[in-house]
Amino acid sequence: MDISLQEVEYRYQANTPFERLAIKDVSIDIPSGIFLAIIGHTGSGKSTVLQHLNALLKPTTGKVMIGDREVNAEKKQKNLKAIRQRVGIVFQFPEHQLFDETVEKDICFGPMNFGVHEEEAKKRARIAIKQVGLSEEILSKSPFELSGGQMRRVAIAGVLAMEPDVIVLDEPTAGLDPRGRREIMDMFHSLHLERKLSTVLVTHSMEDASKYADQIVIMQNGQVYKKGTPNEIFSSPEGLLELGLDVPEVVRFQQKVEEKFQTKFSQTCLTVEKLTEEIASMVKRGEQE
Amino acid sequence: MSKKQLVQLENVSFQYDSEDRFALKNVSFDIYEGEWLAIVGHNGSGKSTLAKLLNGLQFPQEGSITVNGMTLNEETVWETRRLIGMVFQNPDNQFVGTTVQDDVAFGLENNGIPREEMLERVNYSLEKVKMAQFLDQEPHQLSGGQKQRVAIAGVIALRPSIIILDESTSMLDPRGREEVLETVKELKDIHKMTVISITHDLEEAVRADRILVMNKGELYREGSPEEIFQMEEELVQLGLDIPFPVKLSKTLKEQGVFLSKHFLSEEELVAELWTFHYKK
């Protein structure tokens, strides 16, 4: 399912003295099957964009196409459930939303709320729990007996059990240790491939964006500052740095070396391996001279 | 000059009611006045339990904790809490005011600070965390990172001798994190505060004077950032990571590039490459 934001503007508390412009003139295409990363500062409008992806917010002007549904300011929206079942959002710290007696009931809540029969929901729960890397035995436990990392996985399983076409991840690794972070991101990446999902990742991590995303959107002051592939985005890091945005460690380091040595590498390195190769060959050339 | 011990932990063990294993096992260390101490470890290593014990939210079943000469127990807890300000991970769990300035004022009001001074401290702290233009905003309109900066303002307004950052920058973007850490550093210097940062973030840990590594409830190692990050693969096995310059030093060496050591800072690594390979 394709989603596209077309010249979207959103104002919080519009037509009140507290009105505040959050995003304007935002156009983003999210074609089916893409892995898209949205990056920006705190307050850049990332979260506002995210809430438009399943019509939690309606644009003040412009429109959002979700599949063949148009969401705009004028139209009275009916049956938004259908949209929300197809676009699953994993919010920050999703484990705080767990509430039921058992893990199974918690995972089944979403699908059953969307009219899925109990038997079918249970079947989906068994599949989802394995996809997030936990064993079936956990289904009968209380979610509150689990560790933080396990709880997060259960919450994610709850979103997967709705069988969405699009999964939206809002800082999914916040608070996890480095190993947990790698494991969760690898998990989302393989789910993305196996389930042929569209994945939208809202993140601060330039490393994750450059490693996993097909396309990156950079938000700044409520607007789209730049769009492109990781290579396009990071091949000219100067602009990003001027805005006070980060670039991946490898890119930042390459830049420092290029500056010091007054040279330019043949390409922008996005992995430690590539960067090591480039530096090693530069240094060896230096030794021969 | 001998350093003054501000906090002492002696053979501290702690177990949650619902758990079979100990969250902390026989942990002993000192915290010195004016230092920046980082406590690192994987999720579930006991880091956050340590924070709760230090603030008297829980009490150890075995061993003792002494804060500024007072043994921490149910009688002394209120007094020790005046010395320790704590900033938690999730800002949504610590917002109490209906506006930003009310929230920062809350703790001051609780402590009976006169109104004049209260206003001054509220403005000062909010300016320090770059939230002064949000005085009358309601918390729900702020983003996670902005809320966290307000929470930090609330703590620094109380001028505690010790500030504990319990993963408090984990929800901030890189610039926000930098601002907050710079702010804490500045306040630490001005007010001679002691900072305990509990973190997975290696760039945060590298700034510390000293690092404690926790593993499965035990104190695994203690040392300077330089010493700790020479552990390399061992850190990865502990669920942690290696700072980027160390990682790159290692792969460069494997590719036959001569380096005198593995570097903790990018600048030093660039300088070393330059010195050895171009300035001959």
Tokens, residue A55: 């019509």
Distance from CA of A203 to the nearest CA of B (A): 9
Concatenating the DSSP letter of every residue in A215-269 gives EEEEEETTEEEEEE-HHHHHTSHHHHHHTT----HHHHHHHHHHHHHT---SS--
Burial of A64 (0-12, 13-18, 19+ CB in 10 A): buried
Which residues of chain B make contact with A177, given a CB cutoff of 8 A?
A: 41-43, 200, 239-240
Distance, first Cα to last Cα, chain A: 57
* Contact criterion met (CB below 8 Å) for A164 and A85: yes
Of A20, A145, A283, the CB nearest to B273: A283
Distance from CA of A232 to the nearest CA of B (A): 21
- Catalytic residue flag (residue B268): no
Q: From first to last of its 289 residues, what are the pLDDT tens digits of chain A?
A: 999 999 999 999 888 888 889 999 999 999 999 999 999 887 789 989 999 999 999 999 999 999 999 999 887 777 888 888 899 999 888 888 888 899 999 999 999 998 999 999 999 999 999 999 899 999 999 998 887 888 999 999 999 999 999 999 998 988 788 888 899 999 999 999 998 999 999 998 889 999 999 999 999 999 999 999 999 999 888 888 888 788 899 998 999 999 888 888 888 999 999 999 999 888 877 766 5
Task: State the DSSP code for A13.
Answer: T
Domain regions of chain A by residue span: 248-289
Q: Is the ipTM of this complex over 0.90?
A: no
| pLDDT digit string, tens, across residues A171-213 | 898 878 888 889 999 999 999 999 899 999 999 888 999 999 9
Concatenating the DSSP letter of every residue in B49-82 gives HHHHHHTTSS--SEEEEEETTEEPSTTTHHHHHT
Q: Can you give the pTM of this predicted structure?
A: 0.80
The single residue of B109, B167, B203, B232 carrying the catalytic annotation is B167
- Which residue's structure tokens are 């408090």? B168
- In CATH terms, B1-83+160-240 corresponds, of 3.40.50.300, 3.90.170.10, 3.20.20.70, 3.90.320.10, to 3.40.50.300
Burial of B135 (0-12, 13-18, 19+ CB in 10 A): middle
Domain regions of chain B by residue span: 1-83+160-240, 94-159, 243-280
Query: Which positions in chain A have a beta carbon within 8 angstroms of at least one beta carbon in chain B?
Result: 12, 20, 40-43, 47, 92-93, 96, 145, 147-149, 171, 174-180, 204, 244-246, 249-250, 252-253, 256-257, 260-261, 272-273, 275-277, 279-280, 283-284, 286-287
